[in-house]
Amino acid sequence: MLSRVILAVFLGVWISSHSFTLAEDQYMTRALRLMSETPLIDGHNDLPWQILKQFNNELNKVDLNTLGTTHTNIPKIKAGRLGAQFWSAYVPCETQYKDAVRQTLEQIDVVHRMCQKYPETFMFATSSQDIMDAFSMNKTASLIGVEGGHSIDSSLGTLRIMYQLGVRYLTLTHSCNTPWADNWRVDTGSEPSQHNGLSPFGKQLIVEMNRLGMLIDLAHVTVKVMNQVLDMSKAPVIFSHSSAYSICPHKRNVPDEVLKRVNKTGGIVMVNFYNDYVTCSKTAKVSDVADHFDHIKKVAGAGIIGFGGDYDGVTRLPEGLEDVSKVPNLVAELLRRGWTDEEVKAALGNNLLRVLTEVEEVRDRLNGTSPDDVPIPYEEVKNSCRTSYGYPSAGAVHSPSTLALLLTLAFQALVTLTAS
């Protein structure tokens, strides 16, 4: 009799666990089906930065099929069903006023060379149509986002050149103020505001980005800058890798009132997976990331949500999302929570495709508008590493030592002339 009871209990546990496994398999099967129909578009991946840090940009020494020291390689990309990726062209704030432009150009070059070296995996992309073309060929569309306004050295001409090189978003700041915009650390009180948000030149930049068709990324700015840009931009904006402030009150995340404004203006918030922004602690799980998706959907709708993993740019990732290959786990979790197929497909890629298409439409409407060639005032960027060519009034100002030298030379010339 006892053996029958034990057998019945065993069978009950087995059936229960087997049924749970089948249910979980159904969610994953459904997730993979949806990812085969709609491209997963991730807003931010720092693999180029890792290639700089680990290999000094010597891509010839790297095999992305076997690279094991990063969150991202080709097998992981295939397993994660990554349809399109904004690769980050990032250089640290310490390059500001020094070699930021050169360093950023070299990061842009790395993305181009990745696509050339692995054409069977990557297709360089600059438009919504390119993303869909790459997806139809089972390739990962590779776009570029420049992470940090210091990378353009306060130059609209540099911004335009980067656009011509394929850059399709600019994160207005990283973790330092630029001469024209305040960064998120200002909201923590750890840095002073220099511009009360955007300076007049910062506002010029927003207008020029609209004209070019470049996505404006608000992932690293103050709430003041978020609202200023939302007030003035003719095109929808993005947060390429930020999460919900109400779930984790970190100043890199987006407060509810801004989420609502992003909804009204048609933008997108691409959820970051970094533990510190997910749980405000060193540990997190897939379910914690899904909480951010749920909250944003509740506050502002499924139409503003995307994926912005921040792989290879962070040191801690949730259990179950340890690298690029694990993203289907999050998609399955959303389905388990009752997200509809249409909501999931919107978050996977349709939302970003809509935003990018609208940005392109604004560009096309502004096609007859001349490029803005009014430079930032020299006094706003004057430093020991910057010359004043093109600024006549600045060029006429000489240091005391220069004036002394000029007076000495003039006196010597006068003496020579008198003697003769």
Task: Classify burial at 207, counting beta carbons within 10 Å of its beta carbon; exposed 0-12, middle 13-18, buried 19 or more.
Answer: middle
Closest by alpha carbon to 240, among 227, 229, 254?
A: 254
d(CA 193, CA 187) in angstroms, rounded, equals 9
- Indicate which residue of 42, 71, 130, 147 is catalytic: 147
Active site residue 398: no
Q: Which residues contact 63 (CB under 8 A, 6 or more apart)?
A: none
Calculate the dihedral angle through the C-alpha atoms of 321, 223, 90, 135, rounding to the nearest 10 degrees.
Answer: 50
Establish whether 195 is a catalytic residue.
no
- Whether the CB-CB separation of 148 and 171 falls below 8 Å is answered with yes
The catalytic residue among 42, 182, 291, 310 is 310
Q: How far apart are CA 1 and CA 15, in angstroms?
A: 21
Catalytic residue among 150, 195, 241, 292: 241
Q: Is 250 a catalytic residue?
A: no
Residue whose pair of structure tokens reads 């840090």 in the numeric block: 53
- Among the listed residues 220, 250, 292, 295, the single catalytic one is 220
**Strand 40-45 versus strand 82-90 pairing type:** parallel
Encoding tokens for residue 78? 């295939």
Q: Which of 44, 71, 292, 295 is catalytic?
A: 44
Amino acid at 137: M
Choosing from 42, 130, 150, 174, which is the catalytic residue? Answer: 174
310 is catalytic: yes
Catalytic residue among 42, 46, 130, 294: 46
Is 295 one of the annotated active-site residues of the chain? Answer: no
Q: Is 241 a catalytic residue?
A: yes
* Contact between 71 and 317 (Cβ < 8 Å): yes
DSSP letters spanning 156-180: HHHHHHHHHTTEEEEES-SSS-BTT
Which sequence positions are flagged as catalytic? 44, 46, 147, 174, 220, 241, 310
